[in-house]
Amino acid sequence: MSSPEPEPTKKQLDRALLRRVLSLFAPHRKAATVMLATVMVGVVVGLAPPFLLQVIIDQGLTKKDLEVTGWFSFYTILATLAGAGVTLLYGYQSVVIGQKIMCELRHRLFTHLQGMSLRFFTSTRTGEIQTRLISDVAGVQNVVSNTLVDALSNAAIVISSLIAMFILDWRLTLLAIALIPFFGFFGKWVGEFARTVRKGTQEQTAELNSMMQEQLSVSGALLAKTIGRPDQLAAKFDVENEKLAGWQIKSSVLQYLFFGLIRMITQLTPALIYWLAGWLMSRGDTNITVGTLVAFTALQARMFFPLTGIMGLQVEIMSSLALFERIFQYIDMPHDIQDRPDAKALSKSEARGEVAFSAVGFKYEPESESWTLRDVDFTAQPGQLIALVGPSGAGKTTLTNLIARLYDVDAGQVRIDGTDVRDLQMKSVSEIVGAVTQETYLVHASVAENLRLAKPEATQAELEEACRAAAIHDHVAGLEQGYDTIVGERGYKLSGGEKQRIAIARAILKNPRVLILDEATSALDTHSERLIQDSLNHLMVGRTTFAIAHRLSTILRADQILVMEQGRIVERGRHEELLEQAGLYRSLYEQQFQSTASSGNF
């Protein structure tokens, strides 16, 4: 029996993560090669000024030769301007490559999250998702945009500067090289600490963002004002806010420490060089001239700034690995609901709308022993109206979620037109199944844009026709900007009934073969319900409709009423048949009419 493979070490994991980050640049090899060539030109041009400066001092100023001084000063200006131009060019190339990579990374993360099942979104706070998509991605932007060019140019500058320094004087160069290990050691130590700080800061930022998203949304603000405990919510916010401040203090201290030590090293090194040069010159060494020393210190400064950049780059990369870990963690999350390789396409025009459940079982937590639905069996023929009734928590909404494949069953099958929904392309299921839910969701956009979510190519005439059918056209047309009126976040500029009617108009535009009405008229008063009931009746003609907790008028004419309790179908039949059974349905029916305040919903 073979022994289990050892767990990878942290260093191995970091290397694998770094290779994955570098793989982001792979699609841009050609552009990176062109940029590399530009960097090399810039490095060569940048070597000229120190040597020109040596000639100016030793051949011009020392010998008082104005012509040499003038011409070589002019050459120095040209070389400096050329170097600045080349630097600007490869900096631009680097930013273009980096931004393309950032766009691709955001696209990958966004589209991957879109493909996650509803289970992921119900178990993850919105603020956490937003932080990873916005804050974490923004946090690695500098690394992606500048890392490649900085690494290449800094390494090339350091190597070329060392070669030029050796040409000028090998002894001074050895002293300068002796200080380089301090950069590497210090950079590694700071990088590890920065990674911890960066990860802690982002995790705490996600916590604070989640809290702000919850409490500063319209719903959160209403909750805070209605429960009358703003001090309690503010105190909780202060605790998380102070934790974030603590991480940010550590980040600031790290920054001051980093630049303070760098400044100390870069200022100490020239003094040591001058001391060694002075000692050699005092012993009669004629190889070191004033021009040589000035040129050497210029090259040394040219080398130390890239070394500082390399160390800063090391710190930036190490700290950004924490953010890349968080980003890749989401990208690597498997889609628990996705198309099978041989998934079939079923167009809306081909679909008949038959829906069948066979021994269906489902639980929200796969490892749990508690089943939300158990042994659910029924068949809805095309064009039938199926009413789902039962007490709260009976599993009615969960059942319809399985039809739309928002979740996959844990046992049994859900079939549309005889095909398991897991064998259909998800795009097909989305086109065939439409829903109007109790909690209407409108995006912060115009009325027309909200309607076109169901049919992007819809004409203005089609929008108006759908709204007339939903008895909302006159109201929308009467708004200041008509169909271009912005509805506000989650549609809060509209009343509940108005939002619901726009949602119904959206369903009319989509024209699905299977329609789910999850308390679709719950937000409507009696007058509004009468206005759209005929429209709903028209909408339901020719398509299979599942109505949850609908008003009595809808339930009375249902082709089949499924009575649910604790995740099971305990009764089924038409209205009259169920009343005769004297079971749960009759009990719910009698409770409705015994309460004078009842809205008519089950």
According to the per-residue pLDDT averaged within each range, which of 212-221, 335-344, 433-442, 585-594 is highest?
335-344
Residue 96 and residue 411: Cα distance in Å, rounded? 50
Q: In this predicted structure, which of 81-95, 138-152, 429-443 has the lowest mean pLDDT?
A: 138-152
**pLDDT above 90 as % of the chain:** 15
For 355-594, give the CATH class: alpha beta
Residue 570 and residue 564: Cα distance in Å, rounded? 6
The answer to whether the CB of 429 falls within 8 A of the CB of 404 is yes
Strand order, beta sheet including 373-380: 373-380, 355-362, 411-416, 419-420
pLDDT at residue 518 tops 50: yes
Beta bridge partners of 572: 562
- What local confidence, expressed as pLDDT, does residue 12 receive? 78
| Paired tokens of 412 | 């049994």
Name the more confident of 590 and 346. 346
- What local confidence, expressed as pLDDT, does residue 4 receive? 55
| Paired tokens of 360 | 């269906």
Helices (H) then strands (E): counts for the chain: 22, 10
Confidence of residue 532 (pLDDT cuts 50, 70, 90): low
- What local confidence, expressed as pLDDT, does residue 357 receive? 96
Residue with tokens 């429209």: 535
pLDDT, average across residues 246-253: 76
- What local confidence, expressed as pLDDT, does residue 125 receive? 73
Taking the CA atoms of residue 298, residue 303, residue 309 and residue 310 in that order, the dihedral angle to the nearest 10 degrees is 180
pLDDT at residue 596 tops 50: no
Name the more confident of 218 and 17. 17
Confidence of residue 366 (pLDDT cuts 50, 70, 90): confident
Conformational region of residue 163, where left means phi above 0, alpha means psi within -120 to 50, and beta covers everything else: alpha
- What local confidence, expressed as pLDDT, does residue 598 receive? 42
- What local confidence, expressed as pLDDT, does residue 551 receive? 61
Q: In this predicted structure, which of 81-95, 262-276, 434-448, 477-491 has the lowest mean pLDDT?
A: 262-276
| Residue type at 4 in one-letter notation | P
Conformational region of residue 527, where left means phi above 0, alpha means psi within -120 to 50, and beta covers everything else: alpha
Residue 110 and residue 589: Cα distance in Å, rounded? 46
- What local confidence, expressed as pLDDT, does residue 424 receive? 94
- What local confidence, expressed as pLDDT, does residue 526 receive? 66
- What local confidence, expressed as pLDDT, does residue 521 receive? 64
145-176, pLDDT tens digit by residue? Answer: 766 677 778 888 888 888 888 888 888 888 77
Q: What share of the chain is helix, strand, coil (3-state, %, to 5)?
A: 65, 10, 25
Residue 198 and residue 318: Cα distance in Å, rounded? 9
According to the per-residue pLDDT averaged within each range, which of 168-172, 208-212, 479-483 is highest?
479-483
pLDDT at residue 600 tops 60: no
Q: Tell me if the domain spanning 10-331 has CATH number 3.40.50.1000.
A: no
Residue 586 and residue 577: Cα distance in Å, rounded? 10
Q: Do domains 10-331 and 355-594 have the same CATH topology?
A: no
To which H or E segment does residue 47 belong?
A: helix 29-55
- What local confidence, expressed as pLDDT, does residue 529 receive? 65
Residue 480 and residue 458: Cα distance in Å, rounded? 22
Residue 535 and residue 254: Cα distance in Å, rounded? 65
- Across the chain, what does the average pLDDT equal? 80
Q: In this predicted structure, which of 177-186, 241-250, 409-418 has the lowest mean pLDDT?
A: 177-186
pTM (two decimals): 0.67
Confidence of residue 460 (pLDDT cuts 50, 70, 90): very high
- What local confidence, expressed as pLDDT, does residue 381 receive? 93
- What local confidence, expressed as pLDDT, does residue 247 receive? 78
pLDDT at residue 185 tops 60: yes
Q: Would you list the domain boundaries of the chain?
A: 10-331, 355-594
pLDDT at residue 222 tops 60: no
The answer to whether the CB of 550 falls within 8 A of the CB of 580 is no
pLDDT, average across residues 569-595: 83
pLDDT at residue 553 tops 60: no
